[in-house]
Amino acid sequence: MSHVELYDTTLRDGAQAEGISYSVPDKLRITEKLDALGLPYIEGGWPGSNPKDAEYFRRAKTLRLTNAKLVAFGSTRHAGSAAKDANLNALLRAETPVITIFGKTWDLHVREVLRVTPEENLKMIEESVAYLKRRGRMVMYDAEHFFDGYKDNSAYAVKALEASLAGGADAIIFCDTNGGSLPHEVYDIISKLKGTLSVQLGIHSHNDSELAVANALAAVHAGCQQVQGVMNGYGERCGNANLVSLAGIFSTKMGLDVLPAGRLKELTETSRFVAEVSNLAQVANQPFVGSSAFAHKGGVHVNAVMKNPRTYEHIDPAVVGNQRKILVSELSGRSALVLKAQGLALDLSKETPEAKKLLKLLQKLEHQGYHFEAAQGSLELLLKREIEHLKPFFKLEGFRVIMEKRDHKLTSEATIKIKVGQVTEQTAAEGDGPVNALDNAIRKALRQFYPTLAHMHLRDFKVRVLDEKAGTAAKVRVLIQSQDEQDSWDTIGVSENVIEASWQALVDSIEYKLLKDQAHSTQHTAHRKRKQPA
């Protein structure tokens, strides 16, 4: 176990996940990002299966990759000769240095899916590998459904492996395609076969039993030197082995240099980049890279982490490019509150009356339905209002929201009156809904005073009923995520009226943006003064 290679199949197996549909530009961007991370193999797709993947490989020839070898994926030949097989020839036209082909290793699939004789399937495997090898490609054989096949008919499963070796395969990959194998089974089976196979061995595991990563580790302990997986664990059904977790485990727990020196700290950013391009929300509690992976909420935990991070952190989050997060809630106590305040450069000590007062206020608000660990923007504003007596950037004089149905179309209009300093501004705006209209109106009113608001927009809007039994009188919690060119932030509002709760969250969102811009402007001015000659 001195060396393990990572093989990424995000663009092929990961793209089979429900909800993912990569365009060719998406795939090219992800390819460059994975290459920059330092992965040695990137499986780009199946050029014989669809025009998109064929185009990807045509355009990928222009990429200047520094670490990765591109891999084209496909199946063994169909009926007839390998030389005339459209799928195999499409693989060759992709002009990748490496080709991975899968073949049927489970006799159930030979009988029920391919519907050919067992002998013909073995010929298909051997002849397909040999045809690609004669044309100068490195060929990896994916032994599809290997573990299920071995458990049903071990003799035939081994014959399938031997057929790939007879064709000249450079590597054999054991696939747990249905994701139903257990780690001890994976370890025992590979251990039995390791001495009889003279090529590199690999593992391709699916997560249907939530054991994909565990099975990959068991395979490595049994002698596999290549691990196939997908960024963030995407894939068909329950997904594939999470390559992010595996990279973290191999690097920080097993002393295996699976990434080039200095690249491990890019793991979090790469994971989030792939999630963004995939148009999927990053899983907060994803190990190593999730926003909650190093989040601490319980008061005992926070207190201990402040004294020594090793007490509740298995690694330093910075090693994988992540960061510690201290969550402030009614459960976290004064330690978390003080630590959060100190992180914002606010003067607050644990034993002061001010800290006790702030904790009571926080507990009271969370009892009313606020959820500050999900709204760090509102929490920062709350602390600064209480500690620094932050003055608001504007004052609401009043607003009105009207909904009207005209010509079978529902429209909303908001009228708002605000005061900035001594100047009063009143304006109106329409929107797709009452909250959108209110958002448009307040921005319109503030535009002349704070032009930078033009660079901010709402990214997400969530409403949750807090007490369903109260019916239409129930409190609602509104969470808003806003974004500008630099970052994003979350704010919150709670009320029996969804418009009022939305207004609270909107005001916090805008106040946070203005406060952030003010701090940036102050830093920029100070920097310029330092640069001026004496």
The confidence score (pLDDT) of residue 333 equals: 61
Global pTM reads 0.71
Question: Residue 515: CB partners within 8 Å, gap ≥ 6?
Answer: 381, 384, 390, 393
How far apart CA 194 and CA 164 sit, in angstroms, is 15
Report the C-alpha gap between 59 and 65 in whole angstroms. 13
Distance CA 23, CA 31 (A): 12
The domains located in the chain, with CATH, are 5-260 (3.20.20.70), 295-387 (no CATH), 395-498+506-524 (3.30.160.270)
Whether 101 contacts 76, CB under 8 Å: yes
Residue scoring higher pLDDT (250 or 409): 250
Read off the pLDDT of each residue in 340-356 and give the average, rounded to a whole number. Answer: 76
The pLDDT of residue 245:
98
Task: Output DSSP code: residue 111.
Answer: I
* CB neighbourhood size of 151 (10 A): 14
Predicted pLDDT of residue 423: 93
Chain segment 470-508, per-residue pLDDT in tens = 555 678 889 898 888 778 888 999 998 889 999 999 999
DSSP states of 374-429: G-HHHHHHHHHHHHS-PPPS-EEEEEEEEEEEETTEEEEEEEEEEEETTEEEEEEE
Q: Mean pLDDT over residues 81-99, rounded? A: 95
Least confidently predicted of 33-37, 213-217, 241-245, 399-403: 399-403
- pLDDT tens digit string along 299-317? 678 778 878 889 999 999 9
The predicted structure's pLDDT at residue 135: 95
Rounded CA separation 318/265 (Å): 7
